[in-house]
Structure 1
Amino acid sequence: MKKKLSEILAPMSFSEKRAYLWEYYKIHLLVSIVIIALIIATATSFGDKKDVVLNLVVMGESVDSLSLESLKETMNSELLTEDESKDYTVSVRSIQYSSGQMDMHSSVGLQKMAAEVATKSIDIFVVEKALFEQLNNDGQLLPFEEISGIDLSSFNESELYSSALKEDQVIGFNPAGMKIFENVIYNDDFVLCIPGNTENLQRISQFFEIIS
């Protein structure tokens, strides 16, 4: 009897899943990327393009687009001055993914996330706890202690997550209940974390100032 994809992926590490899914869905992914690129190119050709100063991505199954837009407006108003907002913007978007249902959409979402992380196109993650644990175990996340200006004492200790590599380092926190994520985070099963290869530390530090 042929195994389900979820059963095949279950014992694999995040890196192994990424490699397997690339072979399994690469045609679908490449077609999706081309379509998305065409949509973005068409959309930006009709308006003034602003430089993105911070990229926040929510990976979830059913993320409300209106709530994301509200979060984007809040972050733009808090992080950018009036003059900066003329030329710059904060990007807030979602990638469809569910760790409990590894279907084609979730597999493509996982590959899209991996591609964006590789190109440093994600500065802040909000991901399901199961995916966070895989990223944490693979050492792909940045400890908060390496970001200047973050005051960890302002967070409830029970909401913080330690690094799988160094237990004395904080690698993520539960954003549920924070007003800025109201209606975006729909349960307690999400963790906010930072990709290990990001270089946008100043803007990330500013983001933590407005949520702490």
Structure 2
Amino acid sequence: MAKETKLDDSAGIYAKRTKQTEREKLGDMTFKEKVAYFNMYYLKKVIISVCIAGILGYLIYQTVAPRPDELLNIAVVNDYFEQEKLNDFLSDLNTHFEVEPGKEKITFDYSYYISNEDMSQNSISSIQKISTYVSAKQIDVIISDEAYFKTLTEDGFLISLSDLLPADMYTELADKYYTGAIKDEDLKGNVSSGPLAPYGIYIDDSKLYKSSGSAIEKPILGVVSNSPNKENTIELIKYLLGLE
């Protein structure tokens, strides 16, 4: 005979509980309770998932989407511009080169500041940036003041314009050249200079460049020796100096 117990109806608390499914839990909740439950357990996960998906999508787009063809990359050192005038100048430049938006572009980067006398962090960063971009063949033209242009010439960054320009154009611009020489230092520290050559061209009398709001008194333009867009650099010189 089974032994009787004295448990009453409250003994139900000892009964084995069945774990509710998420659907059952939600089914027993009011709308406000469902919102609070979602915010507590799922909202952070959803936000993180959306952010990750967005980042991945952006990276995939950047990798797969075609990049605009860069017709020219112009680096400007130690110059300052009036923004409204510069915008008009760049708009006219794009029009002259018939730049197709989204497919082609001209880069005009005037963020470089380099002083041989004041080696500030800004100067050091600009030197590193311009050296890296030149090595990577990402700069075609450099425009700067006379002080830094001398450094560019001596360091061998630029091509002689006698090797770049057509003969008739080279002769026509004879009175505008900046001449200098590449310097070389051997292992013993002895410095030698190469022959004088026209590595730059003064554009201070260019009405178009002045219209940009440039602050340099005597800007000089030089073409980087490893520029991948040399034909366009010639066209730029023609455009700025008003040559046919």
When normalised by structure 2's length, the TM-score is: 0.59
2:208 paired residue number: 180
Give the whole-Å Cα distance in 1 for the aligned partners of 2:109 and 2:164: 23
Give the whole-Å Cα distance in 2 for the aligned partners of 1:185 and 1:66: 12
CA contact under 8 A between 1:160 and 1:170: conserved in structure 2?
A: yes
1:190 aligns with 2:206: no
CA contact under 8 A between 2:79 and 2:216: conserved in structure 1?
A: no
Amino acid of the structure 1 residue aligned with 2:234: S
Q: 1:93 aligns with which of 109, 121, 137?
A: 109
| CA deviation map 1:29-75 (0-9, x unaligned) | xxxxxxxxxxxx89x97x99532111111111534444443332122
| CA deviation map 1:137-186 (0-9, x unaligned) | 122210112224371333361x311131332x311022123122124431
Amino acid of the structure 1 residue aligned with 2:202: N
How many residues in Structure 1 have an aligned counterpart in Structure 2?
166
Question: Using CA pairs below 8 Å that are at least 6 residues apart, which structure has the higher relative contact order?
Answer: 1
Amino acid of the structure 1 residue aligned with 2:237: F
2:131 paired residue number: 114
User: Shift in Å at residue 136 of structure 1?
Assistant: 1.0
CA contact under 8 A between 2:73 and 2:107: conserved in structure 1?
A: yes
Q: 1:56 aligns with which of 65, 71, 74?
A: 74
1:160 paired residue number: 177
In structure 1, the gaps of 5 or more residues are 1-40
Q: Secondary structure at the match of 1:196?
A: coil
When normalised by structure 1's length, the TM-score is: 0.66
In structure 2, the gaps of 5 or more residues are 1-57, 182-193
Give the whole-Å Cα distance in 2 for the aligned partners of 1:62 and 1:70: 15
CA contact under 8 A between 2:201 and 2:220: conserved in structure 1?
A: yes
User: Shift in Å at residue 125 of structure 1?
Assistant: 0.4
1:171 paired residue number: 199
Q: Secondary structure at the match of 2:111?
A: strand
Q: Percent of aligned pairs with the same residue?
A: 18
Give the whole-Å Cα distance in 2 for the aligned partners of 1:80 and 1:53: 10
